[in-house]
Every structure is written in C-alpha cells, then in structure tokens.
Amino acid sequence: MELVIGDKAWSSWSMRPWLVLKKAGAEFTEIPVALRQGDRTAAAIAPLSPSGHVPALKDGELVIWDSLAICEYVAEKFPEARLWPEDPAVRALARAAVAEMHSGFASLRGECPMDLNATPKEAELSEATHKDLRRIARLWNDLLQRFGGPWLGGAEWGIVDAFYTPVASRFRTYGVHLSDFGDGGRGGEYAQRLLERPEFLAWDAGAR
C-alpha cells in the first residue's frame, strides 16, 4: 500500500489515516507531497489522487481519496486491530463523533491551523471558536464518562481518537485549556494521552 500525504507539520487530514495504518500494523509506503506550493503542489497531487487533495491511499489498483474512507477501509482490512469499538451502540457514537470532526468545527480549523513546528503561544480566539471548544469539551467528557476511557470508544485506541489527535496538537500550539470551556479535567487529560501515543510521536518526529 502507498499513502499520499502532505507535509507532516501541517496536514492534519494526512495524519489521521497514517496513525490508523500504524496502529493496524499495516505495511505501507509514504508518498510525500509538498503543500503550499501553488501550481506545483496541484501538479504533484493530480496523478496521485482523483480529488486533487491529500491524503490518498493506493492498494493495488484501488485508490481511496478521503481520510475517513481510508480509515474505514483499513478497519475492514485489519479487523484484528479493533479500530472501531465492538459494541454496536458504542461504535455508532464513535462514528458520530468522527463524522462531527470530519465535517464540523470550521472556526477552530480556520483560526488554529495545525502547525507542529510552531512555537506554542496563547491565541486570541473568536466566540465561534469558543463555541467549537465548548462542544469538544462536552463531547469528550460525555464519551469518556460513558465508556470509561481512556479513549473515546473505551479501552481501545481507534479511529475516533485518530480523528481528534490533530485537535489535541492544536490545543498545545495555541495554548488552549479545555478547563476554560467546561472541561472538568477528563478532556485535558485525554488530549495529553493522545499526544503521548507512539504513533503520534513518530508522526511528530517526522515533522521536525
């Protein structure tokens, strides 16, 4: 398998399936594409991804061009990795949390783009981003309390945690403390656990 990814410092969407592939123990080759190079970036991605965006996974003749679709494919290809919770109800809520991340939190994304090489500093954030942060605090606390942690789907790290790992990195970069947005401590501890995972540490090292 080959995974087309953008710069590790910036490409949160590339990070998610990369983490999932690593957790699954899959053998794959990275195909890096330099982002933010205008027409050169577009030209480099064009023959590799039907959408013209990263990430994209190639497995034989199959090319999958969406981060969530890639993760779903990996979960089905490597069921022993238990990337989704086994219980149907828990799995449904984990999928709902992933879908919310996949399509939501636009203000947080816009004001706090992922940059693993940035010097951490506290940022002035808009009320729209505050709303996103309050929602994340509620979501994380609800799932952690409901399923007992340490991960959002319970005992096993999975796709839902991969999807929120770039969020945890944003909190570190922009000095966000979830305790300011309704978190009683569970969310902040969870964010720290995400950044201590060996898969994330390997990705982070590659960004330096």
* Residues 152 and 94: beta-carbon distance below 8 Å: yes
Q: Using one digit for the tens of pLDDT, what is the confidence trace for 94-111?
A: 999 999 999 999 999 999
Q: Residue 208 pLDDT more than 90?
A: no
Residues 168/160/202/174 CA torsion (nearest 10 deg): -10
User: Which CATH entry fits the domain spanning 2-81: 3.40.30.10, 3.40.50.2020, 3.40.50.300, 3.30.2130.10?
Assistant: 3.40.30.10
- The pTM (predicted TM-score) of the whole model is 0.96
The percentage of the chain sitting over the pLDDT mark of 70, rounded to a whole number, equals 100
pLDDT score of 176: 97
Distance, C-alpha 48 to centroid of its chain: 21
The percentage of the chain sitting over the pLDDT mark of 90, rounded to a whole number, equals 99
Domain limits, CATH 3.40.30.10, in the chain: 2-81
CA atoms of 128 and 134, how far apart (whole Å): 10
CATH code assigned to 88-207 = 1.20.1050.10
Domain limits, CATH 1.20.1050.10, in the chain: 88-207
Please state the φ and ψ torsions of residue 153, each to the nearest 5 degrees: -100, 15
Q: Using one digit for the tens of pLDDT, what is the confidence trace for 30-68?
A: 999 999 999 999 999 999 999 999 999 999 999 999 999
pLDDT score of 33: 96
Q: 71 vs 46, 67, 89, 158, CA distance in Å?
A: 22, 6, 19, 10
Q: Using one digit for the tens of pLDDT, what is the confidence trace for 124-164?
A: 999 999 999 999 999 999 999 999 999 999 999 999 999 99
Mean pLDDT score across all residues of the chain: 97
Contacts of 193 by beta carbon, 8 Å cutoff, 6+ apart? 150, 151
